[in-house]
Structure 1
Amino acid sequence: MLNLIQIESGFTTQQAEVIVSALIKIMEANMDIVYKDMVTKMQQKIKLELHRLKQQVMDEVIKVRTDTKLDFNLEKSRVKELHAQQDRAVTQTDRKIDTEVAGLKTMLESHKLDNIKYLAGSVFTCLTVALGFYRLWI
């Protein structure tokens, strides 16, 4: 490149060297600027992609939280309904037991009264027979 500048432009060797070194410095500076721009653009792209991914993750987290809350509330209502059904069944069973106990008490009282009637009848019969024998023998 040095010879090309000397021959075509008519510069001396020293002038050509200065021009070439200046051109090299300018090219290096331009390359640094281009490289920095490329890095900055890549960083911006990466930051944008990172922001987009963060947003997607946040959206998914919100969706999962919402779904979890909904599932939790549905399960909670289902458990409450099951509890209410069991309470109704227990209450109904208690009523049946109370009814059966009342029926058994009534039946027991009825049998007790029957036993008292039969006992009284038996006692009076025995007393009548005993009095009859007593009268016959006296």
Structure 2
Amino acid sequence: MAHVDSIRKDMVILEKSEFANLRTENEKMKIELDQVKQQLVNETYRIRADSKLAINLERSRVRVTDMFTDQEKQLMETTTEFTRKDTQTKSIISETSNKIDTEIAYLKTLMESNVLETVCNLAASVFTCLQ
């Protein structure tokens, strides 16, 4: 009986350890995603600031319509690139969230099956001891 209790305690500790490891990985992934998102936002602000600065410098130096149009086109391309990167980031975040949800559901199912198996083993042990 002590051996069964020991095994049961080991299984509980193992399950908690695995769940804690997954939770830690989940938190790390969330932190990494937040960092990537912050870097993207910072890069976007920098690109926008650089683009605006370049446009203002060109306006003050030369009043040529063609140059202004080219700079505006560059700003539009930058905006399009930002939108594309934002969409990619949202897609990655969504995929990661789905993966996390799937893993959590899998772990819950695994934990329930382990609990059921433990209960069955315990019941079998009790019946064996009673005979």
CA distance in 1, matches of 2:101, 2:127: 39
May I ask how many residue pairs the two structures share in their alignment? 69
Alpha-carbon deviation of 1:19? 1.3
TM-score after normalising by structure 1: 0.49
Pick the structure with greater CA Rg.
Answer: 1
CA distance in 1, matches of 2:64, 2:121: 83
CA distance in 2, matches of 1:54, 1:21: 49
Gaps of 5+ in 2: 1-62
State the match for 1:38 in structure 2: 84
Residue 18 (structure 1) aligned with residue 74 (structure 2)? no
Aligned-residue Cα RMSD (Å) equals 1.0
Alpha-carbon deviation of 1:24? 1.1
* 97, 106, 114: which one aligns with 1:51: 97
Percent of matched pairs sharing the same residue:
7
Find runs of 4+ consecutive structure 1 residues off by over 2 angstroms.
Answer: none
State the match for 1:27 in structure 2: 73
Q: Deviations over 1:51-100 (max 9, x none)?
A: 00100000000000000000000000000000001xxxxxxxxxxxxxxx
Alpha-carbon deviation of 1:18? 1.2
TM-score after normalising by structure 2: 0.51
CA distance in 2, matches of 1:82, 1:44: 56
Q: Deviations over 1:1-20 (max 9, x none)?
A: xxxxxxxxxxxxxxxx8112
Gaps of 5+ in 1: 1-16, 86-138
